[in-house]
Amino acid sequence: MDAATVSADELHEAWRLLSPEERVESFGFLSPEEAQDFFLDVRPADQLLIIRQSPPAIRRSWIRLLAPDDAADLLQEARPEERAELMALLDPPTRREVSTLLAYEEDDAGGLMSPRYARLRPDMTVDEAIGYLRMQARQNVETINYAYVLDSEQHLLGVMSLRELFTAPGDRQVADVMRTDLVSAAEDTDQEVISQLFSRYDLIAVPVVDPEGRMKGIVTVDDIVDVVEQEATEDIQKMGGSEALDAPYLQVGMLSMVRKRAGWLSALFLGELLTATAMGYYEKEIARAAVLAVFIPLIISSGGNSGSQATTLIIRALALSEVRLRDWWRVFRREFAAGLGLGAILGALGFTRIVIWQKAFGTYGAHGFLIAFTVAMSLVGVVLWGTLIGSSLPFVLRRLGFDPASASAPFVATLVDVTGLIIYFSVASLILRGTLL
């Protein structure tokens, strides 16, 4: 990288490909203004890297660029022994705000909120309010789009958007024109619930209040876009059968990547070993009629695929609150019908394929038609079963307090494989007893 010409945009492009050392080094090539913009754009972990590598004398100026909620995010990335030192770099009021924020869970409203919001008193006139807001705009408030009307004990009485202030008659009292039917969140409201509030009501900011109705801070929509993306990423990664990576793909170290994937993969493997046990019971049948083995991959993967479909649809519907826990019976009936329909379609396809091959090449010996019938019936059973397991598992997990997204496609497929084998060999012994078996 040419030291003389690197711009913030070029560095943004290259950033995800650089090692931590290269990041710190190339950051040093930016002009001071670009470095500031860039610093504010990168993830807290990278901000921390940059601060660690800066000479002690200028660390203070970097960390003071951050709003209290961003400073809190950075401190959460820091090693425990670093924290006190970093905290000491903040100015005293910010330090107090940051300590308060650090007491909240990172994924709660409390962890997302900023304590710097614009405020008004209820007895001001609209003209006074605009003047007061113009003054607050020069200070460090997160947004002036909404001004919150508080009484002397910080109770949240109402809200006015700047636009409402602009269009209200200048001599009316704020208390008379403010909106009081406002959407707010508690300090421990989960970020996923908050993002649904934003999405449903098309909001720019949500106030966070304590149980007594006292204003604690605001969560702004720019943080929520990140939350929505991050929650979806975590769900998707879990649904693919690994732990959430918690960092962009190329920035996860090789060892930690293998560790995050090996856990689930090994657990699934141990579950899948049960298929070897189940198959052990049917070894005699297979020795007698090896043709049965031919359809094993087809049968179990059809169960796995239909289970993956169902579990994915339900996990996402639960995440978006399109479906609630109490809807399980409704969902179960729908999935029963869907599973039966899908099973019938695959059963018919399988039956047709075997009968055609049998007529054309005599592939499956004397009992081709019975084999076709066995496979078709097994498919109906396995697909129905896969669909029901796949759609129920996310409900069971949520009921037990786990994340429904852990009902990953591979997890469901593994569950369905063992039972799929049992269904197949049971159907086979019913239909083929006395002929092949």
Site for its own copies in 9-28 (CB under 8 A): 12, 16-17
Q: 206: helix, coil or strand? A: strand
Q: Which stretch binds its own copies (CB under 8 A): 20-28, 52-60, 97-105, 288-296?
A: 288-296
CB of 140 to its own copies, least distance (A): 11
CB of 237 to its own copies, least distance (A): 6
Tell whether residue 356 is a contact of its own copies (CB under 8 A).
Answer: no
Are 393 and 311 in contact by the 8 Å Cβ rule? The answer is: yes
CB of 247 to its own copies, least distance (A): 9
Beta-carbon neighbour count of residue 92 at 10 Å? Answer: 7
Tell whether residue 83 is a contact of its own copies (CB under 8 A).
Answer: no
Give the burial string for 356-381 (b: 16+ CB within 10 Å, else e). eebeeeeebeebbeebbbbbbbbbbb
With respect to its own copies, which residue has the nearer C-beta, 166 or 402?
A: 166
Q: What is the rounded CA–CA span in Å between residue 136 and residue 147?
A: 10
Tell whether residue 254 is a contact of its own copies (CB under 8 A).
Answer: yes
Tell whether residue 392 is a contact of its own copies (CB under 8 A).
Answer: no
Residues in contact with its own copies, total (CB under 8 A)? Answer: 111
Site for its own copies in 397-426 (CB under 8 A): 408-410, 413-414, 417, 421
Site for its own copies in 176-195 (CB under 8 A): 195
Centroid of chain to Cα 187: 20
Q: What is the rounded CA–CA span in Å between residue 313 and residue 320?
A: 11
Listed in sequence order, the residues at least 6 apart from 434 whose beta carbon sits closer than 8 Å to its beta carbon are none
CB of 25 to its own copies, least distance (A): 20
Tell whether residue 54 is a contact of its own copies (CB under 8 A).
Answer: no
What number of residues does the chain have? 437
Tell whether residue 429 is a contact of its own copies (CB under 8 A).
Answer: no
- Name which position in 66, 124, 268, 380 contacts its own copies (CB under 8 A): 268
Which tokens belong to 139? 């200070």
Tell whether residue 396 is a contact of its own copies (CB under 8 A).
Answer: no
Tell whether residue 249 is a contact of its own copies (CB under 8 A).
Answer: yes
Q: Which stretch binds its own copies (CB under 8 A): 47-55, 89-97, 279-287, 425-433?
A: 279-287
Are 306 and 342 in contact by the 8 Å Cβ rule? The answer is: yes
What DSSP element (H or E) covers 66? none
With respect to its own copies, which residue has the nearer C-beta, 57 or 287?
A: 287
Number of H helices, E strands in the chain: 21, 6
Beta-carbon neighbour count of residue 407 at 10 Å? Answer: 30
CB of 305 to its own copies, least distance (A): 4
With respect to its own copies, which residue has the nearer C-beta, 1 or 58?
A: 1
Which tokens belong to 340? 């039966």
CB of 381 to its own copies, least distance (A): 15
Tell whether residue 242 is a contact of its own copies (CB under 8 A).
Answer: yes
What DSSP element (H or E) covers 210? none
| Phi, psi angle pair for 299, to nearest 5° | -65, -50
With respect to its own copies, which residue has the nearer C-beta, 173 or 301?
A: 301
| Phi, psi angle pair for 160, to nearest 5° | -135, 135
Site for its own copies in 289-348 (CB under 8 A): 290-291, 293-298, 300-302, 304-306, 308-309, 311-317, 320, 322-323, 327, 330-331, 334, 337-338, 341-342, 345-346
| Phi, psi angle pair for 206, to nearest 5° | -125, 130
Q: What is the rounded CA–CA span in Å between residue 287 and residue 290?
A: 6
CB of 137 to its own copies, least distance (A): 4
CB of 356 to its own copies, least distance (A): 11
Tell whether residue 163 is a contact of its own copies (CB under 8 A).
Answer: yes
Tell whether residue 239 is a contact of its own copies (CB under 8 A).
Answer: yes
Tell whether residue 362 is a contact of its own copies (CB under 8 A).
Answer: no
Site for its own copies in 96-125 (CB under 8 A): none
User: Parallel, antiparallel, or unpaired for β 156-161 and 185-186?
Assistant: unpaired
Burial of 290 (0-12, 13-18, 19+ CB in 10 A): exposed
